[in-house]
Amino acid sequence: MSPHAKGLLIATLGVLSISPDTLLIRLADLDYGPTLFWRSLFTSMGLILLVVCTKRRGTLKAVKDLGRPGLLVTALFSVSNLAFLLAVHLTTVANTLVIISTAPVFAALMGRVFLGEAIGKRTWTATLIIIAAIFYIFSKDIQGPTSWGNLGALTSAIALSATFIVTRHQKSMDMTPAMAGSSLLSLIVAIPLVGTFVISWEGLALFVLLGGLLTAAFTLLLIAPRHISATEVSLLMPLETILGTFLVWLIVGEQPSERALIGGLIIICVLTVNSLVGIRQNKQS
């Protein structure tokens, strides 16, 4: 297998690993606080184990070397996680995943503002179309829980975009310890929000599985860019939106709204075309 094919396979496996996230949250059927606690607990355990196994005696040094950029990634990824779960609890999975899939576009805009990276006409056009699609999804529910859920998804996307920018600016730094730290921070935030720590064996099994899948997904998606470009990795991310929405629809019966389907289709098509054109231009250059 060529390095490029290996990279595509690793990235695809990473996306497939993260896709059942929203389904398992729906099946656990817990309130926001307990969901945040148990999801953060097992994800942090998995990521800490990953860091210890990969860094071994250098674990403490890897944590110390994070510095301010690592702390910033920890905070931003925690905000993204908190807002993501709020969105899942207040709006549909389809709305949540569609809006979060716009993160690469917000990352491009932040790259222009904070890193001085040029944005071509193609990206500006894609950005305007995607923003219009987001407003289309929002427009039906100006008030109420669904609107707050959509806002949570948008906040998650923006925080995730900022995480991408810091990580890109610190290319030589391994941010896995920072991601583990973000899960621990989310866990601390969740503790006062939990009414009872009692959970069924079935619910516990779901969160153990979820923690394992998220650890695998983060690991694979961190390895993939070593073999293929970040653009090609981002091209596969809309697959999570499609699979995650479909799984919840198929198993839980949560049908996406017409606006989510139309707006989501527009966003995914624009992201896909934008990424494909970008890959082609990079190869030609």
How confident is residue 230, by pLDDT bands cut at 50, 70 and 90?
low
What is the per-residue pLDDT for 46? 94
DSSP string, 118-141: ---HHHHHHHHHHHHHHHHHHHT-
Q: Which of 191, 147, 163, 15 is nearest to 80 (CA)?
A: 163
Contact 241, 15 (CB under 8 A): no
Q: Which of 93-102, 179-188, 270-279 has the lowest average pLDDT?
A: 270-279
Note the pLDDT of residue 151. Answer: 92
Give this prediction's pTM: 0.87
Rounded Cα–Cα distance for residues 174 and 154 (Å): 27
Q: Where are the domains of the chain?
A: 3-284
Do you know the residue count of the chain?
285
Region 191-196: mean pLDDT is 94
Phi, psi of 33 (to 5 degrees): -60, -55
Q: Residues 250, 245, 151, 218: what is their CA dihedral angle, to the nearest 10 degrees?
A: 130
Q: What is the number of helices (H) and of strands (E) in the chain? A: 14, 0
pLDDT on residue 182: 94
Q: Which amino acid is at 20?
A: P
- Give CA–CA dist 25/181, Å, rounded: 21
User: What is the mean pLDDT of the segment spanning 82-94?
Assistant: 94
Q: From the centroid of its chain, how far is CA 143?
A: 25
Between CA 125 and CA 123 the distance in angstroms is 5
